[in-house]
A and B are shown apart, each in its own frame.
Chain A
Amino acid sequence: MKTPIAAAAVAAALYLLAGAAFAAEPCDVPGYLLFGSNELKHVAEAVQKQHKLTIAVVGTGSSILAGPDGPRSAYPARLEAVLKQKLPGIDVKVVSLVRTRMTAEDLAKGMEKMLTDEKPDLVIWQTGTLDAIRRVDPDEFRAALDEGVETLHKGGADVILMNMQYSPRTDIMVPLGQYADNMRHVAQQHEIPLFDRLAIMRHWSDTGAFDLYAAGKDNVLAQRVHDCIGRGIAAMIIDAAHLRPLEPKASQ
């Protein structure tokens, strides 16, 4: 009995040390969570040939922040700011098309109209939270994802799927697992990038970068998390579309 406990204690201690080291850079995300082999071809074409990039964020409540600062500090706006900074000379536009209390199926139905209205080069589709809360049938959830991604591909847009937030206070009540699995499999099958917000925020929580257990009305925490999410997506887009970003002089 003693050896496994000792081993576990050592493992825990090492993990904590590693966490303390990471905590210095709050937005840090391990590369394997951001960079894969799935490419964003339309984005690459739009940036190189037309010098523009129109991104539509289709999502639900966790893509916005409340309050007067909300629209400016939610991740779609942060993403736009970071991309503008890193891709000078490119006309970057991020439109946030958020509708609260929508399941994946509800959002999938609106994709065709959204394509004609916005003509995006890239759609970031954030979904899954309400489906998990309502415990929508996993097969139906998966079918809705399939349908939505196919519609977007036919409409000539690249897609990034974004899964749920890591929410330690409510995670005993919301069984995210199989919904996150389904999103990963759909992303794999359609060869599109998955922004694994669940794993990324989990990583920030484990390393101590953010205290996601906090219960109070901390707008600063929410804004910092959204800022980091915006930066993460920007890094993912630049990598998956093989863009050459302007490297910032200082690290910010």
Chain B
Amino acid sequence: MHAAVVTTGRDLRLDLFRGIALWLIFLDHIPSNLVAWGTIRNYGFSDATEIFVFVSGYTAAFVYGKEMRERGFIIAGAHILRRAWQIYVAHVFLFAIYLAEISYVATSFENPLYAEEMNVLDFLKQPDVTIVQALLLKFKPANMDILPLYIVLLLLFPAALWLLLFRPSLALGASVLLYVLTWHFNWNLPSYPEGHWYFNPFAWQLLFVFGAWCALGGAQRLATVLQSRITLGVAIAYLLFAFVISLTWYLPGVGQYVPHRLEDLIYPIDKVNLDVLRFAHFLALAVVTVRFLPRDWPGLKSRWLWPPIVCGQHSLEIFCLGVFLSFAAHFAMVEISGAVWMQFLLSGLGIIIMVAVAGLLTWYKRAEGRSPGSRPKKTPDADLAGGEA
């Protein structure tokens, strides 16, 4: 089964970490899940979202950058926009499943303890408004924020990619500038019924563009910095610092030792606008990873790492499946049992299903003669940027 790992020039580390990020996002999305204590968001500032967005930027640039060089701006841009459309369709599909689940919960739930929490179902009373707002990406239920972010990032990507190909430093500079201006002027997209996008695209684009920049030669330019011992030392020190701070979130006793001035400086750690602390934490993780996990490490081809890698190779499908499975797991916890053993069982089962489906998708591709090794040379595959690549 594991022979399907692709070995043509692609950096399997990207698939590996995107696969792991997909698992972690799934685990974090199951509410009340004890297993989620093992995910990285509890041990530092950044979480799986950063990995997912960075790797998505990297692979998108890798696929569409090549196409833009060979076939021009129009063709590559058209393919990027088609990809954005596919993600939009996937998002609407997930929204339909979400509506089905919570409509069911709404009709079967009348615990007087939770009269206030039932207000969350208010929007079912006016489907005319809610569904239209959802189609406009303004109404986004919990845990359904990443795909809309991805859609906006891809809509802006043709222009960004063009600039990245011909003036990479300028492109990265423009991205940083947009990030800074966003912080300064509080730019964000509006949400329904109130508030703003949970992942601000104008801030999170920095990580996506940075990933793309690395894919298009930036990583080589950074090589000397990445290999320096000072960088490694700073990165490890920062990861330790973040770890100690994260301890104070769960062990109030530790909090006494953190000076107030430091607390005032670091809080709030803003996820909406990709706080600098989170970005730096992701960079530190990346520095350490690149250092200790070389691209040609033989373990990447071992069967033990096949499960996350194959998931990372079909990221859009597996991401959507993960969101669906987290709804299903919640449903099972409500209907059968929310006990701790059930949380472990559902978490494990979900990951097994994700791996099995990813394996099946690989099999389909090969059966259709489209595996990346033997792909006919026509258009780059539509599922590429998010998935293969």
**Alpha-carbon distance between A175 and B321 when the two chains are bound, in angstroms:** 20
Determine which of B112, B114, B193, B196 lies in contact with A169 in the assembled complex, contact meaning CB atoms within 8 Å: B114
Q: A48 — which chain B residues lie within 8 A by C-beta? A: none
Say yes or no for B253: interface residue by CB 8 A criterion. Answer: yes
The answer to whether B113 touches A175, judged by C-beta atoms less than 8 angstroms apart, is no
**Alpha-carbon distance between A218 and B346 when the two chains are bound, in angstroms:** 28
The answer to whether B330 touches A172, judged by C-beta atoms less than 8 angstroms apart, is yes
The answer to whether B117 touches A167, judged by C-beta atoms less than 8 angstroms apart, is yes
The answer to whether A218 touches B112, judged by C-beta atoms less than 8 angstroms apart, is yes
Per-position binary interface string of chain B over residues 29-41, scored 1 when its CB falls under 8 Å from any chain A CB and 0 otherwise = 0011011000000
The answer to whether B113 touches A165, judged by C-beta atoms less than 8 angstroms apart, is yes
The answer to whether B194 touches A135, judged by C-beta atoms less than 8 angstroms apart, is yes
Say yes or no for A5: interface residue by CB 8 A criterion. Answer: yes
- Number of chain B interface residues as a range: 35 or more
Q: A67 — which chain B residues lie within 8 A by C-beta? A: 112
Known: A37-B256, A130-B119, A175-B143. A168 touches B31 (CB 8 A): yes
Q: A166 — which chain B residues lie within 8 A by C-beta? A: 32
Say yes or no for A215: interface residue by CB 8 A criterion. Answer: yes
Known: A135-B194, A167-B114. A174 touches B341 (CB 8 A): no
Q: Which of B9-17, B206-214, B332-340, B379-387 contacts A (4 or more CB under 8 A)?
A: B332-340
Per-position binary interface string of chain A over residues 126-160, scored 1 when its CB falls under 8 Å from any chain B CB and 0 otherwise = 00011001111111001000000000000000000
What residue in chain A is nearest B116 (Cβ atoms)?
A61
Say yes or no for A62: interface residue by CB 8 A criterion. Answer: yes
**Alpha-carbon distance between A36 and B196 when the two chains are bound, in angstroms:** 35
What residue in chain B is nearest A37 (Cβ atoms)?
B256
Q: Which of A79-87, A111-119, A181-189, A231-239 contacts B (4 or more CB under 8 A)?
A: A181-189
Say yes or no for A96: interface residue by CB 8 A criterion. Answer: no
- Number of chain A interface residues as a range: 35 or more
Q: B264 — which chain A residues lie within 8 A by C-beta? A: 189
Say yes or no for B259: interface residue by CB 8 A criterion. Answer: no
Which residue among B113, B194, B327 has the maximum number of chain A CB atoms within 10 Å of its CB?
B113
What residue in chain A is nearest B193 (Cβ atoms)?
A134
Least distance between B130 CB and chain A CB atoms (Å) = 13
The answer to whether A165 touches B114, judged by C-beta atoms less than 8 angstroms apart, is yes
Known: A173-B102, A175-B143. A137 touches B195 (CB 8 A): yes
User: Can you offer 18 A-B residue contacts whose CB atoms are under 8 A?
Assistant: A12-B340, A62-B117, A100-B116, A135-B191, A136-B194, A138-B268, A165-B117, A170-B120, A172-B101, A173-B105, A174-B117, A181-B268, A189-B267, A214-B111, A215-B334, A216-B110, A217-B112, A221-B111
State the 4 A-B residue pairs at the shortest beta-carbon distance, nearest first. Answer: A61-B116, A222-B113, A171-B31, A175-B142
Chain B residues in contact with chain A, CB under 8 A? 31-32, 34-35, 101-102, 105, 108-122, 141-143, 191, 193-196, 198, 249, 251-253, 255-256, 260, 263-264, 267-268, 271-272, 304, 326-327, 330, 333-334, 337-341, 344, 348
Known: A62-B116, A170-B109. 19 other contacts (CB 8 A): A1-B304, A15-B340, A16-B339, A32-B252, A37-B256, A61-B116, A62-B117, A135-B191, A137-B195, A170-B118, A172-B101, A172-B102, A173-B141, A173-B142, A174-B142, A185-B263, A189-B263, A189-B264, A212-B338
